[in-house]
Amino acid sequence: MLEIQSLRKTYGGQGRVVEAIGDITLTVGDGQFACVVGPSGCGKTTLLRCLGGLLTPTAGEVKVNGQAVTGPPDGVAIVFQEYGRSLFPWLRVAENIELPLKSKGIAKADRRTIVAESLEAVSLADAGKAYPWQLSGGMQQRVAIARAIAFQPRVMLMDEPFAAVDAQTRADLEDLVRTVWKQFGMTMLFVTHDIDEAVYLGQRVVVLSSSPTHVLENLDIDLPDDRDQLKTRSDARFVELRSHIYARIQEAKGAGGNATVATAP
């Protein structure tokens, strides 16, 4: 479960103060799949980094599974957009996945089993011995997802994870994420700039305003649970939801100010 209460985040330094998040209050229930969209620069990544304990809020509180976040919380895995930088190129795929398990103190035999199961879950059972750079971009992102699954997180945070892959691979990875979410029952927060992707994936879509950022809308995605790239995307309700969100974001952009709230002389 994710609980965000009156979160504010301001970046400062070098004469420029940026109010990245004005005031966000939001809850994502246990096992829910929520997507976050909003105008560029509205603070989506900042929000996710505050949840992941990688940034300290300026004000407000963030809780993961009932615990206030003061550093990287237990049971949380993060998948970033830059798969190329998140995998260690000198380690084989299986070793990349195994590394965080070692630091968790899991015994060698168990580590082997978990690595094999996670690779299986992302349809890369044969790739364990390869180096990341021998794989395509989409495969590398699947390895990053396998590493996150292996950690057996209760919460998965994903920051535009498919922004750098081609459209066909992206569709496959979207379906993979829905499959692993269902299989492992984790709470999912997925940040994307792609409205269609958000509606396709989520049970809810949280629309953020432009700066000073707050929640503009927390929309229930009342589409059938079984999503299908062709059927779901051509469903009249899908089209209605995406148009609605698009209009809200356009509105937000129109009303939006500048994120910079103060500039020192």
Radius of gyration of the chain (CA): 19
User: Nearest-CA neighbor of 37 among 252, 257, 205?
Assistant: 205
**What is the DSSP secondary-structure string of 142-202?**
HHHHHHHHHT--SEEEEESTTTTS-HHHHHHHHHHHHHHHHHH--EEEEE-S-HHHHHHH-
Binding flag, residue 24, ligand ATP (CB under 6 A) = no
Residues near ligand ATP (CB under 6 A), total: 13
With H, G, I as helix, E, B as strand and everything else as coil, classify residue 61: strand
The backbone torsions φ and ψ at residue 69, rounded to the nearest 5 degrees and listed phi first, read -85, 120
Binding flag, residue 43, ligand ATP (CB under 6 A) = yes
Q: How far apart are CA 90 and CA 96, in angstroms?
A: 9
With H, G, I as helix, E, B as strand and everything else as coil, classify residue 87: coil
Binding flag, residue 11, ligand ATP (CB under 6 A) = yes
Stretch that binds ligand ATP, among 35-43, 93-101, 136-144, 225-233 (CB under 6 A): 35-43
Among 2, 4, 7, 20, binds ligand ATP (CB under 6 A): 20
Binding flag, residue 57, ligand ATP (CB under 6 A) = no
Binding flag, residue 80, ligand ATP (CB under 6 A) = no
Residues of this chain, 202-261, that bind ligand ATP according to CB under 6 A? 259
Q: In the complex, what is the shortest distance from the CB of residue 170 to ligand ATP, in angstroms, rounded to a whole number?
A: 17
Q: In the complex, what is the shortest distance from the CB of residue 5 to ligand ATP, in angstroms, rounded to a whole number?
A: 19
Among 26, 28, 45, 204, binds ligand ATP (CB under 6 A): 45
Among 26, 33, 35, 44, binds ligand ATP (CB under 6 A): 44
- CA dihedral sign, ordered 15, 20, 24, 30: negative
Q: Contact residues for ligand ATP (CB under 6 A)?
A: 11, 18, 20, 38, 40-46, 193, 259
